[in-house]
Amino acid sequence: MGAVSYAQAVSASPPVSIMWKTVSEDCNLACDYCYYSTCGGKPGKTIRRIADPLLRKVIREVMQGTRGSASFAWQGGEPLLAGREFFERVVSYQASLARPNTVISNSIQTNGTLINAEWARFFRIYSFLIGVSLDGPQAIHDKRRVTASGTGSYNQVMRGIEELRKADVDFNILTVIHEGNVREAPVLMAWLEEQELRHVQFIPCMDFRSQQADAPGNYLITPEEYGTFLCEAFDRWYRDGNPVLSVRLFDNWLMKLVGLEPECCVQSSSCGGTLVLEQNGDVYPCDFYLDDRYCLGNASQDSLAECLHHPVYQAFAEQKGKLSPECKQCKFLSYCQGGCPRNRTSHTEGNMQPGQGRDYFCQSYYKLYAYGEERMLRLARNFLRKRKRIQVGP
């Protein structure tokens, strides 16, 4: 790779956020639909952790290149298996290596089973945003999110959430939509309201390996099923123009209508801006593409700038704009931006290679947009009127 400083790279690129697979595939749950971990809920006696010199090097590079803010997302496996001592080093290095007045953001995606009062206190002190995986009420959740012995994890997760609430920690819910809950949108939405879980992201389930990026995905729900789910969820969410829940897909749609760039990569106009690191320092452009063919280097030897300028990264970033003829002519293209390249498949029988054709869930999104557009436009107009009144003043 040619020598280029991280500061030079970010001067010509959006600020980069780091997503780090903190303990690689180590996890204490054995969710059968997981696209990453293969340990079956048995992580072994020695947890794989990020080596200290690598941790410090990456944080230093991010801080040297930042333009006022730095974002770190810690995932797994189950990242809390790394232990609080590890994360105490993280925040210590961030504080000591940051430029003055740098805004540092940390988030953790966790299954929630290991959260206790001490973890919650730590998250509160350092303003971590926590994403907790929870598939719905206990009867739904415990069918798929289980320990190695097959025991459901719902009660442990809810205890963790209660600790987050006691400590006043910001958190949201990540819900995988699969065969067991795709027909339960009214039940899920009512349950979220009853449990006062105000922020949720729905993730349509597909069975694939992120380590096999070019292999076809096995989709566990149909586009029709997911489309119906989204429409039913939208009805409950809208509440006569006064939503009380934050549903990421709906929020990003509204952002688009009021002139803002969606923050979710699926609905954004471009891929990129994030580097995904494995526990050993291997660098990739996306956590759906942890395949040797997409490896951009290793952060122990290569700079993040070199990874950003790798030809594979450039090719990955260009995937989003390579739209099918159907997408280019679609009246809702500005809403979905062609979806996720990993979900794009040829709809010709016998040819389901990713990266070709339309997003597998294209029909789902089209159904939602056609069904809810009038109400969403009304919500956007009301939002803009209120914002104008605030800006002008009484």
Among all residues, which ones are annotated catalytic? 287
CA pair distance 307, 312, nearest whole angstrom: 9
Residue 166 phi/psi, 5-degree rounding, is -60, -35
3-state DSSP helix/strand/coil percent for the chain, to nearest 5? Answer: 45, 15, 40
Strands 69-75 and 17-21: parallel
Strand partners, 228: none
Q: How far apart are the first and last CA of the chain?
A: 58
The structure tokens 């979900």 sit at 343
Six token digits for residue 384:
């803009």
* Pick from 339, 132, 125, 135: nearest CA to 252: 339
CA pair distance 283, 291, nearest whole angstrom: 10
DSSP H helical ranges for the chain:
6-11, 52-65, 84-97, 117-125, 138-144, 154-166, 185-194, 223-238, 248-257, 304-308, 311-319, 325-329, 333-336, 362-392
**At 17, is the secondary structure helix, strand, or coil?**
strand
